[in-house]
Amino acid sequence: MSVLSINDLRLSFKGLRGKTDVLHGIDLSIAKGERVALVGESGSGKSVTARIVLGLLQELRNARISGDVLFEGQALAAMTAKSRADLRGTDMSMIFQDPTSALNPTFTIGRQFAEVLRRRDKTLSAETCATRAADALAETEIPDPARVLASYPFQLSGGMNQRVMIAMALANRPKLLLADEPGTALDVSVQAQTLKLMHRLVADHATAVLFISHNLGVVREFADRVYVIYRGRIVEDGPTAAIFAHPRHAYTRALLDAVPRITGAGLPDVPEVSDAFLAPHISHGSGS
Amino acid sequence: MSLLSIANVSKTFQTPGGPVHAVKDVEIDVQPGECLAIVGESGSGKTTLANMVLGILGATEGTISFEGAALPIKRLRDHRRMIQLVQQNPLSALNPMRSVGAAIRLGLDTYGIGARADRWGRVEAALEAVGLPAEMRNRAPTALSGGQRQRVSIARALAVEPKLVVLDEPTSALDVLVQARVLRLLNDLRRDRGLTYIFITHDLAVVRNVADRVAVFQSGQLVELGATAQIFTTPQTAYARSLIGAVPVVDDAELALRNQLAEGA
Amino acid sequence: MIRTILVLTRNPLSLLGLILVGLVIVAAVFAPWLAPYPTHNGAVVDFLNNNRAPSAQNWMGTDLVGRDIFSRILYAYQISLTLGVVVLVIATPIGTIIGLLAGYVGGWVEAVLMRVVDVFLSIPPLVLAIAMMGVLEPTLTNAMLAVTAMWWPWYARLVYAIARSEREEGYVLAAEVIGAGTPHIAFREILPNCLPAIITKMTLDMGFVIIIASSLSFLGLGVQPPTPDLGSMVAEGARYLPDSWWLTVFPGLAILIAVFGFNLLGDGLREVLEIDG
């Protein structure tokens, strides 16, 4: 059974000027322990897809959502708002773009960590929380967990905060981790290190990941499988190696061609928009 | 003769926590017509250096000369005109309450470029030169896409006919397909108009394809300066190697280059 | 402008504000034609009909010297609105210019200007006005002066805060790099971005100016008889409550309608302008 299964997901917003369609029928699935990337440009619908999975858009009055989102076989639409909220931070967790702004500057890391752990088990004592938090931080190769737990987020570097976010996101052993452009706000070398770390940890714990990104290089290094999304439609999906070696959809090809290469192949001549980008979905299969 | 000469320039900020040396004893000559990339991570001092070149900040020590003459902090009008800027965030760089045309026309009015009656024509020509329709001059920046706004920013900078343009992460906020078009546009404009660029970025893959020379900055110091091809094949410092090694790559040739650099370390 | 009004009419509360403000303006502008007894705005005495309860002849009754209260309310609106407009037309530009310069130029200009503003803000507004009116003669012009003196610092503070944050925007840097002067950047680049907040505040303030002016008149320091004023009408009638309730209730309601209307409209404008801005 898939950890996450999305079938024909459609989303539109009702505004003053009528209805705006954002998603036109997304199909996507993630198996246990699988790392799946959803890659696309801004406005493609990748972030709203993540927000629907997190149950954050269902509460919006002007959002119209149809189709199925099944988490561990359970339909999100059939759940109450409260049970969707209970999933967040326990069986489903998330990591965002900028770790420093995602943490509350007025509380210590230790206190915020305890809150995360108590989402799973309200009865945990302060000592148990401290021990578990220290263990979780140690996993992320943080040299002095006790010092970090006593610190406030602004006293730590961006890279350190990102490690804290990763440790928190995995502390409750979620089935699914949603990472929305993780570490994009960080320096390239720090982002590379934290992604490697995240990769190792989710592999160790067999955590499934929905990895949202616009950066093809990062996707190539992180994901097992890739979905390419363009204007609310999946245009191509398949194993990472196949997508990068043999992209078949015009949009995927354009995206790949547009990335400047460190080998110095020159500046690519690709169109910003093309009718070919709207060609039907191409699937390479699951590859496994 | 070099177009811009940065000689032993340092910048120290006095903060409550003591002095912070943002730029330390930097020496670079920028040649006419070249694209010099300044790369480094956050806190490397690259933006501080750019602000000194633009005359927004004064240097604590050293001098910056343009065409052989030392630049005072309070720039004369002609010096201001000769060195222009394209910023990273195209949304913030344009005033939401003023039209696209007004933004471009500001420089023309400031320097009295062209006859008054011709200036709207010049604004339209500036828009067309960056691949935008002339009618866009009446639009509000908020009605434009990120790529269009960045093209307007470029048109505004070039309308006053500068010799040197400081490009501060000009494509970092753009989607990759838009970035590709804007980078080509910048390249074409440089070639056609004989412009000189100082291209500030953290994206080494972009640098590899646009710059003639690369200056690598680390904590306020210039650690390596060389021709682009040389920096990317035989970097002299471990820091430059580590920067290139951290670039996420998309094809096997790139991966091979990265691995080769890692072995050389 | 037209679009803003159209959007306002979509929200029931803003629409109510728009209607109330419209009524007040119509009442003030057309007072000479709408008032059943247009001469009653002055020193008219009709002791045969004094202190009458509301009737078909006098919809809101008559006052202690026999003048029609409805007619006097219409004329009082004229005075209140004029006072409000004059105060805001003087106070807003002064406060805006000071706030803009302090916020954009910074340095010692900012230090000096904002300390002066702080001094004005630290004096309770009504006390300042009472002090000024004590020194000056209590005339309508001086009432306007007093209210203006206590009003501009709030605009300086508002505009200063916006200009301070706009100063960090890229478009200001762009104008500086191009070489535009301080007046251009302050008035042509930054000021337009302050206008939505200024217009909203002016609308809300119309209500407050009317209240302050009425308070001054209530204390006998504002508009002097026989000129009709809502505040002095309430003050005069207060002694005859509850028997001659019409003397206070109708002028009081008139103040309420005007202030409530301007506040609703101001809140509506804030939403519309901030979303569009």
- Chain B residues closer than 8 Å to A218 by CB: 248
- Chain C residues closer than 8 Å to B80 by CB: 177-179
Q: Is the pLDDT of residue B69 over 90?
A: no
| CA atoms of A44 and A253, how far apart (whole Å) | 16
Is C178 within 8 Å of B156 when comparing Cβ atoms?
A: yes
Task: Provide the pLDDT for residue C206.
Answer: 87
Rg, C-alpha atoms of chain B: 19
Give B225 to chain C, closest Cα distance, Å.
27
**Interface-testing mutation among B89, B106, B111, with chain C (most C C-beta atoms within 10 A):** B106
Q: Is the pLDDT of residue A190 over 90?
A: no
Q: Which residues contact C54 (CB under 8 A, 6 or more apart)?
A: C60, C61, C246
- Chains contacting A with at least 3 CB pairs below 8 Å? B
Amino acid code (one letter) for C137 = E
Q: Is the pLDDT of residue A272 over 90?
A: no
Q: Which of C73, C24, C1, C3 is nearest to C264 (CA)?
A: C24
Size of interface B-C (CB pairs under 8 A): 61
- Chain C residues closer than 8 Å to B111 by CB: 179
Q: What is the dihedral of CA C87, C88, C93, C95, to 10 degrees?
A: 90
pTM: 0.87
Scored b (16 or more CB within 10 A) or e, A274-284 reads: eeebeeeebeb
Q: How far is CA C257 from CA A187, C134, C177, C267, in A?
A: 58, 30, 51, 15
- Quick check: bond before C242 cis, omega within 30? yes
A264 touches chain B (CB under 8 A): yes
- Count the residues in chain C: 277
Comparing CB atoms, the residue among B42, B146, B175 nearest residue A187 is B42
DSSP assignment string, C44-103: ---GGGTTPPS-SSSTT-B-TTS-BHHHHHHHHHHHHHHHHHHHHHHHHHHHHHHHHHHH
* Residues in C 153-182 with any Cβ partner in B closer than 8 A: 169-171, 173-180
| CA atoms of B51 and B38, how far apart (whole Å) | 13
Q: Is the pLDDT of residue C13 over 70?
A: yes
Q: Is the pLDDT of residue A87 over 50?
A: yes
Comparing CB atoms, the residue among A189, A270, A272 nearest residue B41 is A189
**Interface-testing mutation among A215, A220, A240, A263, with chain B (most B C-beta atoms within 10 A):** A263
Mean pLDDT of chain A, nearest integer? 91
A271 touches chain B (CB under 8 A): yes
Tens of pLDDT along C61-104? 888 778 888 989 999 898 888 888 998 999 999 999 999 999 99
pLDDT band at residue A246 using 50, 70 and 90 as cut-offs: very high
Tens of pLDDT along A95-152? 988 888 889 999 999 999 999 999 988 888 999 999 999 999 998 988 889 999 999 9
Is B251 within 8 Å of A188 when comparing Cβ atoms?
A: no
How many angstroms separate the first and last alpha carbons of chain B?
A: 36
- Chain B residues closer than 8 Å to A259 by CB: 176, 205, 250
- Quick check: bond before A153 cis, omega within 30? no
- Chains contacting B with at least 3 CB pairs below 8 Å? A, C
Task: Provide the pLDDT for residue C277.
Answer: 38
| A183-187, A266-270, C257-261: segment of lowest average pLDDT | A183-187
- Chain C residues closer than 8 Å to B95 by CB: 169, 171, 189, 192-193
pLDDT band at residue B73 using 50, 70 and 90 as cut-offs: low
ipTM of the complex: 0.89
- In chain C the domains, ranked by start, together with CATH numbers, are 77-276 (1.10.3720.10)
Q: Which of C38, C40, C39, C34 is nearest to C52 (CA)?
A: C40
- Chain B residues closer than 8 Å to C177 by CB: 54, 56, 80, 83-85
Task: Provide the pLDDT for residue C51.
Answer: 77
Place of tokens 């103040």: C255
B189 touches chain A (CB under 8 A): no
Tens of pLDDT along C110-154? 999 999 999 988 888 778 777 877 788 777 778 778 888 888 999
Give B191 to chain A, closest Cα distance, Å.
14
Is A189 within 8 Å of B175 when comparing Cβ atoms?
A: no
Q: Which residues contact B9 (CB under 8 A, 6 or more apart)?
A: B23, B25, B26, B27, B49, B52, B59, B61, B62, B63, B64
Q: Which residue from B minimizes the CA distance to C179?
A: B80
Give B84 to chain C, closest Cα distance, Å.
6
B47 touches chain C (CB under 8 A): no
- Answer with the residue of higher pLDDT: C39 or C105: C105
Mean pLDDT value across residues A12-24: 85
C277 touches chain B (CB under 8 A): yes
Q: Which residues contact C272 (CB under 8 A, 6 or more apart)?
A: C4, C7, C8, C14
Q: Which of B92, B91, B90 is nearest to B171 (CA)?
A: B90
- Chain B residues closer than 8 Å to C184 by CB: 106, 110
B187 touches chain A (CB under 8 A): yes
Is A191 within 8 Å of B246 when comparing Cβ atoms?
A: yes
Task: Provide the pLDDT for residue C6.
Answer: 79
Q: Would you list the domain boundaries of chain B?
A: 4-233, 237-265
Q: Which residue from C minimizes the CA distance to B99?
A: C189
| B127-141, B213-227, C50-64: segment of lowest average pLDDT | C50-64
Q: Which of B114, B133, B198, B208 is nearest to B163 (CA)?
A: B198
- Chain C residues closer than 8 Å to B81 by CB: 179
- Chain A residues closer than 8 Å to B206 by CB: 260
Fold exhibited by the domain B4-233: Rossmann fold (3.40.50)
- In chain A the domains, ranked by start, together with CATH numbers, are 4-99+174-283 (3.40.50.300)
Task: Provide the pLDDT for residue C66.
Answer: 80
- Chain C residues closer than 8 Å to B87 by CB: 170, 173-174
Task: Provide the pLDDT for residue C185.
Answer: 94
Task: Provide the pLDDT for residue C275.
Answer: 53
Comparing CB atoms, the residue among A221, A259, A263 nearest residue B176 is A259
C184 touches chain B (CB under 8 A): yes
Tens of pLDDT along C199-255? 989 988 888 888 888 888 888 777 777 888 888 888 888 888 888 888 889 999 999
Which structure tokens are listed for C30?
């057309």
